[in-house]
Amino acid sequence: MFEGIWLPIVTPLRDGEVDIEALERLTDQYASDGIAGIVALSTTGEAALLNDVERVSVLQAVTEVAAGRVPVIAGLGGADTRAFVQDLRAMESWDVAGFLVPAPSYVCPDQAGLAWHFAQIARATSKPVVLYDVPHRTGVAIEVETVRELAEFDNIVAIKACASERFKALGQLPISLLCGTDEAFLECLEAGAAGGILASAHVCPDLLRDVRSLVKAGYGEAASRLFARFKGVLRLLFAAPNPSAIKAMLALDGAISPETRMPIRPASPALVTQLEFARAVLDDLRAIAPSP
């Protein structure tokens, strides 16, 4: 199940409040658009800036619209293992296909502490757990040997990896490797990744699927040429703190408001102008993209 292009869906906002109607429309659109699955309450979804009531409303909206169409996994975070396990158990009854779990942020445990933390989480749920290695946000990396140890748990089934220096080693482990760094997607696929959880899937899921299909079919050079054509767009999507540019690009088509929650600022007018050009680049590329 944990393969293909997964979408860490944004949380639309309007006038400071979660725009549930816009979220439901987005979920419906992407559930019909070939996405392998959706991640609710992700970094891109500004989960860290939502209160408990908002998190529940977001998860409810996404799971209800996606039900029976695409799987949904929920992002969970926190440094206190005990509180984390309590939150996890409270969500166990939700119609989610699993949980995306990063390392504890700020406290920077050693690898033995990380292994203990994730082991408690794995034991607290019967659902699949996707590890999330994002050291530039958490302050600590989940090292390869720690992942190897954790892979012995039946329900630790995948890792979303953001550090390219570990792609090759992670790709040799008996769990699914999912890319978490959009610009490094091709490199991760070449290391054996099964897919990715990519914010850029909001704007070019079809092209990301094409790159993956070409790699799987053995057309590495064609995949490289195609990816090079829109890698600059991926870079632009992270020219401001995520998800400012993603929301701005979706707003160009009126899908959502470009509003973000402070301290994440909306995309600047200059960046929006660049995103308008990027949208045209993607449209032109779709007309000539090679078939896998």
End-to-end CA distance of the chain: 21
Pair 178, 197: CB distance under 8 Å: yes
> Is the sign of the CA dihedral 180, 184, 189, 191 positive or negative?
negative
Catalytic residue from among 127, 160, 168, 219: 160
Active site residue 216: no
Write the burial class of residue 231 (CB in 10 Å: 0-12 exposed, 13-18 middle, 19+ buried). middle
Catalytic residue from among 132, 216, 219, 247: 132
Half-sphere exposure of 23 (CA within 13 A, CB side): 27
Picking from 236, 291, 292, the residue whose alpha carbon sits closest to that of residue 268 is 236
Pairing of strands 129-133, 156-161: parallel
177 - beta bridge partners? 159
Helices (H), the chain: 20-31, 52-66, 81-91, 111-124, 135-138, 144-150, 167-170, 185-190, 205-216, 220-236, 244-252, 269-288
| Tokens linked to 98 | 């699993």
Helices (H), 139-289: 144-150, 167-170, 185-190, 205-216, 220-236, 244-252, 269-288
Q: Binding site annotation covers 73?
A: no
Q: Binding site annotation covers 197?
A: yes
How far apart (Å, rounded) are the C-alpha atoms in residues 161 and 166? 8
Pairing of strands 37-40, 4-8: parallel
Q: Which residues are annotated as a binding site for pyruvate?
A: 44, 197
Catalytic residue annotation: 132, 160
Q: Which residues are annotated as a binding site?
A: 44, 197
